[in-house]
Amino acid sequence: MWVLYPLTGYLWLGRVDDAITYLQLLSAERIKRQKWLNQTINYLERHREDIPCDA
């Protein structure tokens, strides 16, 4: 939950680069599933242009 809250804040503002950086800088202790982290980063990189600013 605490990982997703800042992530959704970045994405709500359309700050995809900041969201990716935030995920890349997370410590391994905060991530239960590394596969989820990698998939999420890859998704954001692939769909960067399609993610709007919803604010």
Domain edges within the chain: 4-48
Instruction: Report the pLDDT averaged over residues 41-55.
Output: 94
Q: Give the pLDDT of residue 1.
A: 55
Q: Give the pLDDT of residue 27.
A: 86
Q: What pTM, to 2 d.p., does this model score?
A: 0.86
- Long-range contacts of range 47-54, CB-CB < 8 Å, 24 or more positions apart? 48/16, 48/17, 51/11, 51/14, 51/16, 52/14, 53/12, 53/13, 53/14, 54/11, 54/12, 54/13, 54/14
- Give tens-digit pLDDT for 12-41: 999 999 999 999 999 888 888 889 999 999
The residue type of 34 is Q
